Amino acid sequence: MFYSGPLGCMYSSRLSPALSIPIRIPVWYTALMAMEQIAVRLPEELLAEVDELVAQGVYDSRAAAVRAGLEAVADSERRRQIDRAVIAGYRHIPAGEAEHESAVASLRDAILDEPW
């Protein structure tokens, strides 16, 4: 199952939106973005998986699949950098008792809201 995400990208519903990899690059993206061509060597097994995704219609082409993968890696690294900055901020100015109590209360509420 797929769903439409921000800016017209299609995503797989098997993953949470925060971890989703775009499965279709919107047409406007390729029309508006300056692109350069690169050569990439891939192991045969990985290329076979990419070809299967293209054959299933998940991606329009090998290039679209590789582009989506690279975008996912870049997005993951951006998120990692933000995480490191937040951690550094808390190390510089640690949370006080009030923040700790609020976080624990919020966690308890989230657990109680779970449908289990």
| CA 104 and chain centroid, separation | 28
pLDDT in tens, 9-30: 555 555 555 555 666 666 666 6
pLDDT in tens, 51-68: 999 999 999 999 999 999
> What residues does 10 pair with on adjacent strands?
4, 24
> What residues does 11 pair with on adjacent strands?
3, 22
Contact present, 10 and 22 (Cβ < 8 Å): yes
DSSP single-letter state for residue 5:
-
What is the spatial distance between Cα 84 and Cα 76, in angstroms, rounded to a whole number? 12
User: What average pLDDT does range 28-56 have in this prediction?
Assistant: 89
SS3 87: helix
The domains of the chain are located at 2-113
Residue with tokens 């990985």: 46
Q: What length does the chain have? A: 116
